[in-house]
Structure 1
Amino acid sequence: MVRVPSPSGELVEASLHADLVGVGAHRPAHRVGRALGRVTHALLQHVLCPVAVVPRG
């Protein structure tokens, strides 16, 4: 089996050497609830530097 790294895991690892990590977020008009995707949510839980969440559009 080939193991593929997750996007959130890669970003958390990159945060070890970063001053800031930037990610995008969107708020679908037709959906109520969480506006953050899985990668952004995981990043905010585990990242080791400041995070800039930038809304789309």
Structure 2
Amino acid sequence: MISVKPNADNTFSYVIESLDRETGKRKRIVRKGFASKVEAMKAAETKIKEL
């Protein structure tokens, strides 16, 4: 699941949450400091492809 949220300093961050099927634990990746929602979403999609 990807979510993009605004930050207080007029930047955006994305959060990628997934479930590791082998261990049953949640995995959460957070990155901050993007100029726009579109930029944050593209970065999140690229990160998912890497995983």
TM, length-normalised to structure 2: 0.27
TM, length-normalised to structure 1: 0.26
Q: Which has the higher helix share?
A: 1
Q: Which has the higher strand share?
A: 2
